[in-house]
Structure 1
């Protein structure tokens, strides 16, 4: 054990720990279980401190030896997230706002720098985490800058993933444009559609979601509130074109940017949840598509479709919705002092972004590439639906076609059989009305099969 001292007195800390007395006191006073911070947040906070060390070393605001040791220690810790995670013992549920995590990171960095200098952990007269590392940059500003950096990187991945998924859906829309299906609408209404239409509509909505995510990313670029000489170094370290925040006190007084970002992540997840639900219906009860198998089915149900990937995707979507609920509650309850709850809602937003990236990657890599069509299932489905009576309108008129549809629905008979029984059309007219459409669908199905075999 080693002894550290602050204004409140002495404290014993495990010799191998890199965190210090402030973090140890917090854990002793408020020891709560909870998920850890996403590793990107403390990692990017180290990047902020590294940029300060470089800039202040160049301007000689910090002694050269101290600045170099901090720079090297920050680089080493940021490059070893597993090692850093072991020392980040504060969670988003701990009180104290951003200062709790920032002090935890600063103590770890200070002690790592002390070892670089050949000193001992706790020799804070050489490197002081409380009064030196936070120079010129408030704890909340440093933390929110790290959050912006984290989400700018995550949103870049999301923009790439949504673009890839949208392209895949457009190609599937063309491939399945000839396979008819029955689309379920609200209030039990149904309509004839195509599988290509399902994929095309989802692709369009993902494209619009991508535009909105790009707008959110642009709004995150202005984030710097510290010394101007540090910003160019931070840009170089992160590879991001960060900018100065125009209003220095925008946060915590305003939280609309973060509420909108969380909401947009949730809305994108809801689009994908609807799409996954539609795929489950098409593969399950309608048997119009085949999903790729990720594992062998048990012997007693070898023909049953496998929904492992879709179930995983759905639960990722549920997690994103839960993160948005926590973010909304924290922002609304903390309107007078949103900074107190910033660690919670920022951590939830980062988790939502990571879950959305995983969801998009799962659909792009595991579900869509192995998806196959079952034309016979779609043909049986569309043949059995009373909506086939739409084909009769040019020959029988609207009212008589509706009558046929009602009889077909009540008797659960195909429309064509009802027309034959009622002797409403001649054999030639029936062939013209139904067989031409079926032949056209079969032709398109053969083309689809050829495309898959060539691929």
Structure 2
């Protein structure tokens, strides 16, 4: 991925000189970023991508900087003209502009300092442009003295990451809802299709295909609720705590004002943390979210395992359902079609489960008043959210709606299965039922025929007990009573 806007040879040769702690450095003359960003690009060529890959993070960073500028303006710490310029740039970024100027690698040393400085420099230089000043005129608007006023990477970065995660969570929740709806609609279509349920891959008792698909919808909806709970934990912010949570160099009223403005700008119920020192070092909310995403991944993967298994065949497998054919399956076996959509969802699930381990280790590795490894936590969580959402969308649009049932095969499987004997056990006893099952397995005859032939139950009694609606729900009461 490109680390900045495309430039002509002439533009690439034009530079401006900026200075930092390390010394002088050439910066592309037309870049909105500055010296700190250039050094970060050189130092952290890790993932081959940039933070621009995560637009929710860029939007959140701009929201935090806008809230800070509005708070500092209200506190008379920023002049109205400088504050207005900074706020204007933040609004531009939140509208999708300047994203290509966010060029640092998402995985970086420094606890997110490079991301914060990239943001400060872009805002400062664009604000200078709005005021008719050349880029790099930091005596007028400085990335640190003005854009980062009253802030630290250690409160800006985690607050922005939390806000970005909440935004991504909303999107994942919507995609999960659409997937649950797809399964619910398919369940209604299959509501009258009888099949054998299985435990340990062995015949168990009958159920409907609709019940099986309803289960998938219910599991997904449960996870949507857990996502909502995880999001609530992320809306606690340490903004205003500055370096370690003590609020050094900050105005006493800054935290309250900045959080209030951030809530207004983002539309989320951002609130100040109860203890800023604790909030600055604690990554518990990230671990909680990661665990919930792993839960989502595990259940999606289990669902896709079921889809692959029940569609196996078409002639030598279970063959209960048919997945829609979306592409040819083999370069050597003509006519082969593979369950590629469930397979890709499985792989996303494996990635998310691995990301959870990364988040766990990074959170555990924090030391004293700061966790320096929040960048890899953010990178892992944002990727998990992005990929899970894409997986859900793919499953909901490219697979579930096109699933069909092999109804005749399912019907025959139920009536050939010895699992039907479970329905007879309350009426003829466990021992007689076991004998009947062995006879059916040995002879290949049906449970119903053998029970009638042996005089264990009358034909009418068998018809009542083995009625489909009685096989797939609690069955009892006077009308169901049957005695041999």
TM-score scaled by length of structure 2:
0.79
Q: How many Å apart are 1:190 and its aligned residue?
A: 3.6
**What is the correspondence of 1:43-442 to structure 2 with a 5 Å cutoff?**
43-80=59-96, 83-84=98-99, 86-186=100-200, 190-226=204-240, 227=254, 228-284=256-312, 285-295=317-327, 306-336=338-368, 339-393=371-425, 396-409=428-441, 411=442, 413-416=444-447, 419=450, 424-425=454-455, 429=458, 433=462, 437=466
Separation in 2, partners of 1:31, 1:302:
44
Q: How many Å apart are 1:212 and its aligned residue?
A: 1.9
Q: How many Å apart are 1:257 and its aligned residue?
A: 1.6
CA contact (8 A) 2:423 2:466 kept: no
| 1:446 matched residue in structure 2 | none
The secondary structure found in structure 2 opposite 1:184 is strand
Structure 2, unpaired ranges of 5+: 1-14, 241-253, 471-484
| 1:453 matched residue in structure 2 | none
CA contact (8 A) 2:205 2:419 kept: yes
Separation in 2, partners of 1:299, 1:341:
44
CA contact (8 A) 2:281 2:366 kept: no
Q: How many Å apart are 1:118 and its aligned residue?
A: 2.1
Separation in 2, partners of 1:220, 1:56:
24
CA contact (8 A) 2:17 2:25 kept: yes
Q: How many Å apart are 1:271 and its aligned residue?
A: 1.1
| 1:452 matched residue in structure 2 | none
CA contact (8 A) 1:98 1:339 kept: no
Separation in 2, partners of 1:25, 1:325:
30
Separation in 2, partners of 1:303, 1:429:
48
The count of corresponding residues between Structure 1 and Structure 2 is 436
Structure 1, unpaired ranges of 5+: 442-455
Change over 3 Å in CA distance of 1:416–1:30 after alignment to 2? closer
Question: Which segment is superposed worse, 411-420 or 329-338?
Answer: 411-420
CA contact (8 A) 1:180 1:379 kept: yes
CA contact (8 A) 2:238 2:279 kept: no
Change over 3 Å in CA distance of 1:437–1:191 after alignment to 2? closer
CA contact (8 A) 1:390 1:401 kept: yes
- Show structure 1 runs of 4+ deviating over 6 A: 296-303, 438-441
Q: How many Å apart are 1:4 and its aligned residue?
A: 0.9
| 2:248 matched residue in structure 1 | none
From the two aligned structures, give the one with the greater helix fraction: 1
The secondary structure found in structure 2 opposite 1:340 is coil
| 2:26 matched residue in structure 1 | 12
Deviations 1:273-309 (A, max 9, x none): 1111112222223222233343577899897655232
Compute the RMSD of aligned alpha carbons. 3.2
Q: How many Å apart are 1:379 and its aligned residue?
A: 1.4
CA contact (8 A) 1:386 1:414 kept: no
CA contact (8 A) 1:286 1:378 kept: no
| 2:244 matched residue in structure 1 | none
Separation in 1, partners of 2:207, 2:190:
11
Q: How many Å apart are 1:432 and its aligned residue?
A: 5.8
Q: How many Å apart are 1:28 and its aligned residue?
A: 3.4
Deviations 1:196-220 (A, max 9, x none): 2222323333333222222112222
Deviations 1:168-192 (A, max 9, x none): 5445444433322233323857443
CA contact (8 A) 1:114 1:120 kept: yes
Separation in 1, partners of 2:274, 2:424:
65
Separation in 2, partners of 1:344, 1:208:
28
Separation in 2, partners of 1:247, 1:191:
55
Change over 3 Å in CA distance of 1:103–1:412 after alignment to 2? farther
The secondary structure found in structure 1 opposite 2:144 is coil
